[in-house]
Every structure is written in structure tokens, then in C-alpha cells.
Amino acid sequence: MPMPSPPFADPVATRSRPPPPPRRRAAVVAVAVALLLLAACGTPPVRDGLPPSIPPDIDRVPDAVPRVEPLRSGGPNKPYEVLGRRYVPATRDIAWSEVGLASWYGSKFHGRATASGEVYDMFAMTAAHPTLPIPSFVRVRNPANGREVIVRVNDRGPFVAGRVIDLSYAAARRLGLLAGVAPVELRRLTNAIIGRGAGAEDRAADAADAQGPAHVDPLGAMLVERGLAPAVRVPRPRP
């Protein structure tokens, strides 16, 4: 038995309304888009920067401890493309030295996964490099103040022309680079160097200095020739 209609039902009102004309639909869409744009403009972008709180012992964070770790040909070491540029990471234990600009990344990426799959910790001695094999241990030196740190490369970046490494907040702080990008010197610690000790590349460079020819200081040579200064050997800079 069919159910009776409600006592005040209007068969015309209960019918589905016809769709609005195309011009009206276009106006509704335009208003919706405008509202979305206004909402986007009112939302501040997420910026990277200093952490909300800094551990009290941040200046005593030790260097990364170099150790021999296996390298994979795939995973974080497979070729990739960013911003239209193709990068081909090394997959072997290579010797590498480089000079360029360093930057650092902090709170925006803290706690997120790195290219290696590890969680980024801005208070640890880590770094990102575009093509060094992951993982790698790199000695980073700030020539402006002579400070050095050893970091473990476990991420990819930076992807800005001229920049060669992205440091963690802790590493950049130790090097005195928090004010912005600055020149640095990089040297990858090979498995052979790690096996002999993290300072082996320094000892090898010192030995080469002791055996190789010294670089000549023109002003010093003139003073020595005129008897105004004793002969002093000037060590050659390390490559």
C-alpha cells in the first residue's frame, strides 16, 4: 500500500530545480576562484629558519664519527632530476674535494625524511650534497675563521647554482655560517682515510708539505735576501 503524501506537499516544489544558465554558472565559478586566491594570499608561506627552541648543549654537539658504510647503486644514489637539471650521484668510494658556497636548512625540514630515508635532525652533524654517494663523511672548513667540522651526508641538495653543500643547523652554527651562504672547502673522507683515522688526510698533506717544494713568498724572499728576516719556510696550501 503506497504511503500517503505529506499533507502540505507541493509537487512543484519537490521537483528538482533546473540547472542555472551557463552565464550564471561561470559567474559562480569566478567568485569561487577569487575567494580561493584571497585565502591563499592571506596564508603566510612556510619559511625555513631557526628552531623555536635551541638545546642548551648545541655548541658541544660532536662531529659525525666516520665509519665505513656500504654504498648502493640505487636508492638515494640513483640519477634524479630537480628543476630541469639531471644529477648523477657517485656510487663508488671516491676521493673528492670541492670549494663553493654553503647554506644550511633548519626548522622547515626538521623531522622530515631525508633522501636516505633517515629523519632529518637539524641538531646533528649532517649535510646534503647533490652528487656525493650516500652515505659519505665530509670534512667542511670555513676559510674565513679556520673552523672545521665532519658531517655525514645523508640527503640531497642544495639545488642552487654555486652552492655545494647544505649543512644542518648544528654544523652551520659550529662553522659560524648562520648569517647566510658563505664559501667553504670540502673534502670527502674515503674508506682508506677512515681506516687510518679521520685525521689521516691531514697527516698525509703535512708529509707532502715536508717533502715537496715550498711555495715562495715574494715579500719574505726579498727580506731574506736583504738580511732583514731569517729564512722561514712557508707551507704550501693543501689541495
3-42, pLDDT tens digit by residue? 444 443 444 443 445 555 555 554 544 444 344 433 333 3
- If you count them, how many residues does the chain have? 239
According to DSSP, residue 207 is labeled H
Query: Which CATH number applies to 58-192?
Result: 2.40.40.10
Q: What is the pLDDT of residue 238?
A: 43
Asked if pLDDT for residue 172 goes beyond 50, the answer is: yes
Percent of the chain with pLDDT over 70: 61
CATH 2.40.40.10 in the chain is located at: 58-192
Contact by Cβ (8 Å): 92, 71: yes
Q: Which amino acid is residue 183, in one-letter code?
A: P
Question: What's the predicted TM-score (pTM) here?
Answer: 0.64
Q: How confident is the model at residue 108 (pLDDT cuts 50, 70, 90)?
A: confident
Q: Which residue has the higher pLDDT, 91 or 11?
A: 91
Count CB neighbours of 166 within 10 A: 24
